[in-house]
Amino acid sequence: MLNSSDVYTISPELPAMFDGMKLAAVATVLYVIVRCLNLKSPTAPPDITYQDTALNRFLLKSCPQLTKEYIPPLLWGKSGHLQTALYGKLGRVSSPHPSGVRKYLPMQDGATATFDLFEPVGDHRTGDDITMVICPGIGNHSEKHYIRTFVDYAQKDGYRCAVLNHLGALPNIELTSPRMFTYGCTWEFASMVGYIKRTYLQTQLIVVGFSLGGNIVCKFLGENITNQERVLCSVSVCQGYSALRAQETFLQWDQFRRFYNFLMADNMKKIILSHRYHLFGGSSVETIDADLGRLFTATSLMQIDDNIMRKFHGHSSLKEYYEKESCVHYIHNIKVPLLLVNSADDPLVHNSLLAIPRTLAAKMSNVIFSLTLHGGHLGFFEGAVLFPQPLTWMDKVIVGYANAICQWEKQKPPCQSAHLSESSCTAKKA
């Protein structure tokens, strides 16, 4: 049995030991937080790849967001996962509600494309009639928070905005044919652009695409040179450029990409199942059961693309579908000024894919590639410590770049055009 002196000599050591364990636990938690939130990562201006031309020098000078330091919210903004999650789940803080008119466009195959048209609030700074034709991300439409915020901002700067609603994405609009949007089908976007050109004979176009929408607009412009008529410039944000190259990276757990793949596949399942009657109604019972069975068991976008999506356009294989629908095979045909924006911490776009826009910008004088350290997938939030601003760096860059292009068109030298390189201009003078 311990006497009183033994108790007093042992007990002081126990609190010291527990304090040490608490300190170690706190240190471990802080280390995990710092690593997960990437708090030690520096802030920096975007990494810009471009050719040194008069137009590009003017654009970089006139659009300061491309050369100034991008500073995300201090506490969580350096985490690409949190930037992506905040965009994907919470949308924009205090999102505005711009008022637009929905348009319905019958397609040759019986489908009905829809888009929302938003008139400008006030005149454009150049006095010209300019329309932004906008293609949202996968399964998105004009009612998404990030689209509403961007449209409201662009309207106030004097731009008319036309926003495509991806075929099948709006829950209250039924399909009128056994087909919905795919990774690179440009038919609905082309129909919207055609309507704008026919209705507003004097308008010029700014083409904008977000994520999957970036692939669609770049493919649309590169498919046929006539698609670039009356187009002043184009902006693509956070696209992956090549679905074929991306499919392997989407099955990896690096940056939890496989988990994001599962979430997006689950969302695609819901969209497809909400239109099951129109998509599968004309098939035999056996075909319907087989297609739905494969859909229910799919855990990745690739499985859904292989079993459902590629069949809408008669592709014989998943490889053919990704080859034909990726803009990487068309983007080099774009002659108008093109701004490509990506984030280095985008958990959906593997870093290996960024060699495509970097190489393109190094070879083509009309292309600028901007790569930020932070921003996630379509996040690019700005703010002080915790709460982000409703307007993002991405919103400001797109409108700033568009304004710079419009200003260049107004004050460019007589020989120069946004469509001509300096060498072309020199040759023309000679």
pLDDT tens, 206-232?
Answer: 999 999 999 999 999 999 999 999 999
Lowest mean pLDDT among 1-10, 148-157, 410-419: 1-10
Judge whether residue 29 has pLDDT over 50.
Answer: no
Higher pLDDT, 298 or 36: 298
Residue range 287-301: average pLDDT?
83
pLDDT band for position 108 (50/70/90)? Answer: very high
Q: Please state, in angstroms and rounded to a whole number, the distance separating the CA atoms of residues 175 and 251.
A: 31
Coil/strand/helix, residue 164: strand
Residue range 108-131: average pLDDT?
96
Within 109-252, residue ranges assigned H as helices are 145-156, 187-199, 212-223, 243-249
Instruction: Confirm whether 124 is a catalytic residue.
Output: no
Which one of 81, 346, 395, 421 is the catalytic residue? 346
Beta-bridge partner residues of 372? 343
Judge whether residue 33 has pLDDT over 50.
Answer: no
| Residue 133 burial class via C-beta count within 10 angstroms: exposed 0-12, middle 13-18, buried 19 and up | buried
Higher pLDDT, 420 or 195: 195
Residue range 395-408: average pLDDT?
98
Coil/strand/helix, residue 81: helix
Residue range 398-420: average pLDDT?
82
Q: What is the pLDDT of residues 230-255, one digit of tens each?
A: 999 999 999 999 999 998 898 888 88
Which one of 141, 350, 374, 377 is the catalytic residue? 377
Give whole-number Cα distances, 127 to 157, 316, 388, 408, 409, in Å: 11, 50, 33, 14, 12
Lowest mean pLDDT among 170-174, 384-388, 402-406: 384-388
Q: What pLDDT does 427 receive?
A: 45
Residue range 388-393: average pLDDT?
88
Q: What pLDDT does 389 receive?
A: 84
Instruction: Confirm whether 99 is a catalytic residue.
Output: no
Residue range 143-151: average pLDDT?
93
Judge whether residue 421 has pLDDT over 80.
Answer: no
Average pLDDT of the chain is 87
- b/e code 14-40 from CB counts within 10 Å (16+ = b): eeeeeeeeeeeeeeeeeeeeeeebbee
Q: What pLDDT does 312 receive?
A: 92
Q: What pLDDT does 26 receive?
A: 45
Higher pLDDT, 6 or 187: 187
Beta-bridge partner residues of 341? 237, 370
Most confident segment among 27-41, 329-343, 404-418: 329-343
Q: What pLDDT does 228 receive?
A: 98
- Going along the chain from its start, the domains and CATH numbers come out as 47-242+326-410 (3.40.50.1820)
Q: What pLDDT does 161 receive?
A: 98
pLDDT band for position 69 (50/70/90)? Answer: very high
Lowest mean pLDDT among 17-21, 57-61, 173-177, 371-375: 17-21
Higher pLDDT, 297 or 22: 297
Residue range 76-99: average pLDDT?
79
pTM (2 decimals)?
Answer: 0.88
Sheet of 47-49: strand order equals: 47-49, 367-372, 338-343, 231-237, 204-210, 130-135, 160-165, 112-118, 101-106
Q: Please state, in angstroms and rounded to a whole number, the distance separating the CA atoms of residues 403 and 59.
A: 9
DSSP 193-232: HHHHHHH-TT-EEEEEEETHHHHHHHHHHHH-GGGGTTEE
Residue range 151-179: average pLDDT?
96
Residue range 94-116: average pLDDT?
93
Higher pLDDT, 384 or 370: 370
Instruction: Confirm whether 377 is a catalytic residue.
Output: yes
Judge whether residue 385 has pLDDT over 80.
Answer: no
Within 275-354, residue ranges assigned H as helices are 276-280, 285-297, 301-307, 318-325
Residue range 255-263: average pLDDT?
91
Q: What is the pLDDT of residues 299-311, one digit of tens each?
A: 999 999 999 999 9
Which one of 142, 211, 326, 421 is the catalytic residue? 211
